[in-house]
Structure 1
Amino acid sequence: MRRGLVHVLAWSLATGAAVTLSWWGVHTVMTGTVYDRPRALPITAADATTQGAKPLASSTNRATPSKGSVTPSSPSPKPTETPRTPTPSKTPPQNTGPSPTTSGQVKSYDTDGGRVVFDIGATSATLVSATPGAGWSMQVWKTQTWIRVEFGAGADRVSVFCTWHDGPPRVEIGNY
């Protein structure tokens, strides 16, 4: 009986040590992969639709069924309304000056490894989002004068550099 208790105690200690070591290793690696979340850009009057500020649908909100649309409980096989798509408003954009949170144009760059979106201003840039393609991983480096996004898959590497240390921001894409 005593011998069995010693074996169970030894097994419990070894298992606890292994779980602790594994958790610490995974935690250390995952902490290094976190980057700033993309920020939402403000919507100006030029971005408004003719339907006002009411969104049609998004990936996180389900559209509420309209009066004539088909729902699981409705017996009608066809909707009576046609879906509407947003159209840009015809009003000219109002020049209210740059917002302190945005400084320029939002530009996206599609590469073999994924997609990178920058908010490019006159003297600096910020990373809006970076999304790796299927089968690709991603790393992001940021400093005061440049941002680098690198996509990797096996031995293939695609880097997207945005630099502004010696002039206005410019973007360079390189395959390695």
Structure 2
Amino acid sequence: MRRGLVHALAWSLATGAAVTLSWWGVHTVLSGTVYDPPRALPLPVGSPEDLVPAETAIGDPVTASTRRPSPPSAPPPSPSPASSSPSSPGTAAAPSTRPAAPPRTTPPPATAASSLKTTAVDGGRVTFDLGESSAELVSAIPASGWQMQVWKQPTWIRVTFTQDGREVSVFCVWHDSAPRVEVDDRTR
């Protein structure tokens, strides 16, 4: 009886160690494949008619429905109370009473060589920042009930929305020309 308990305990410890080692290995491999979550953009202001319809987003040049705000100008530095009076060697400066600036939530301003391209499809909305010879994913937002996957490579970006066997992919490619956006809609 005692021998059976020793074997059962040894088997349990070996199995637990094997499962832990396997989980750690799989976790290590999969943690490197997760993409960065898309940045949220401010919602457009206006009526639904102002939004980009899916039909015009495929080939026609369309401007983004949101405007990029001008970069905020830095407020002039205000003198702190400690800097207005002469400090003696043993005195510490008083902390600033000015509140910290809120974190910046707006995207950086576009350069002259880049433009935003928003494509709305049944599965969601994708926005790319198109440069002269490359592109960057700005945001990808799935519609309600749709799943989303993102693939990034040196010469293309793919965003795929899936729901009930339907797959809508938005590609941005620039391997042989200037960046362009293409849409592929298929049923599995």
Q: State TM-score, norm by structure 1.
A: 0.54
Q: Which residue of 2 aligns with 1:47?
A: 69
Higher relative contact order (CA 8 A, sep 6+): 2
Cα 1:36–1:116 change in 2 (3 A) is same
Q: Match for residue 116 of structure 1?
A: 126
Is the alpha carbon distance of 1:53 and 1:130 closer, same or farther for their aligned partners in structure 2, counting shifts above 3 Å? farther
Residues of 1 paired with 2:130 and 2:121: CA distance?
A: 18
The 1-side partners of 2:69 and 2:35 are apart by 31
Matched with 1:77 is: none
1:36-77 Cα deviation digits (max 9, x unpaired): 875x9xxxxx8249x9779xxxxx98xxxxxxxxxxxxxxxx
Contact 1:114 1:151 in 2 (8 A): yes
Structure 1 residue identity aligned to 2:141 = T
1:54-112 per-position Cα deviation (integer Å, ceiling 9, x unaligned)? 9xxxxx98xxxxxxxxxxxxxxxxxxxxxxxxxxxxxxxxxxxx74xx74112222222
CA contact (8 A) 2:35 2:150 kept: no
TM-aligned CA distance change 1:114 to 1:123, over 3 Å: same
Amino acid at match of 1:123: S
CA RMSD across the alignment: 3.7
Give the alignment's TM-score, normalised by structure 2.
Answer: 0.52
Distance in 1 separating the partners of 2:28 and 2:154: 24
Provide the residue aligned with 1:21 in structure 2: 22
Amino acid at match of 2:147: W
2:141 is aligned with 1:140:
no
Structure 2 unaligned residues grouped into runs of 5+: 42-67, 76-101, 104-109
1:47 aligns to what SS in structure 2? Answer: coil
Whole-Å Cα distance in 2 between the matches of residues 22 and 154 of structure 1? 30
The one-letter code sitting in structure 2 at the alignment partner of 1:110 is: A
Q: Percent identity?
A: 30
C-alpha contact 2:174 2:180 (8 A) present in aligned 1: yes
